[in-house]
Amino acid sequence: MSEKILGVLGGLGPLATVYFMDLVVKMTEAKKDQDHISMIVLNHAAIPDRTDFILDNTKPNPLPVMIEDAKKLQAAGADYVVMPCNTAHFFYEQIQKNIEIPMLNIIEETVKYAVNHTANIKKLGILATKGTISAGAYQNMCRKYALDCVVPSLSDEASLMNLIYNQVKAGKEVNIDEFIKIIEHMKADGCDAVALGCTELSVINKDFALKRPDIIDSLEVLAERSIVLCGKQVKGEKVCADS
């Protein structure tokens, strides 16, 4: 496969974008610079908040900005576009129809990964922002792949939003015990695996090196898929090569 260039529509938020780039580099089988994939990154932190608009469409609409950013990535030579943000995929179809290059869908890739790599999976738990949950993005994708989908209780959702916005995005210390408690609530509800459907939660997963096989990190899945599509090799087993 010839080398392709990855366009990263970033800033959603900035820390998750930087972590995504770090993942791509560290997960690529490389002995020299030229073994890595080439990326064009637009880390546009000023894009209006996605959850705010999804919950209240009188708030500033991020869609026009994201469409323009995707067009800039295409014009700069990208062969694929990715958004390292689950909530922003509320706008996925509208962005995709405004560009001529493929855009990877982090939500579909994550659910496919769960189906292909969790033995006998029947029920997938989703940890995500209130915007992602309210939009039904993961619920709809789970139905497409014949999975039951479990979302957090109202109290756990409030705790997650606090972790995401008041701790990770704010650059403050994360209450890891609270995070683990939410995961265990999901497991107690019969989930075979739990997907981190918010890239700020991926940052928590990295910072605390959880390395649990029952946790599926959407940002790691997107990084692996990006490497393979761009013609390079993932370190170790190429888990996304046939997904």
Residues designated catalytic:
85, 198
First to last CA, the chain: 17
Q: Give yes or no for a contact between 131 and 54, defined as CB atoms under 8 angstroms apart.
A: yes
Q: Which residues are CB-contacts of 109 (< 8 A; sequence separation ≥ 6)?
A: 218, 221, 222, 225, 240, 243
Please give the Cα distance from 176 to 70 (Å, whole number).
35
Q: Quick one: CA torsion of 73, 15, 187, 242, rounded to 10 degrees?
A: 30
Look up tokens 């995709």; give the residue.
96
Q: Which residues are registered as beta bridge partners of 6?
A: 39, 80
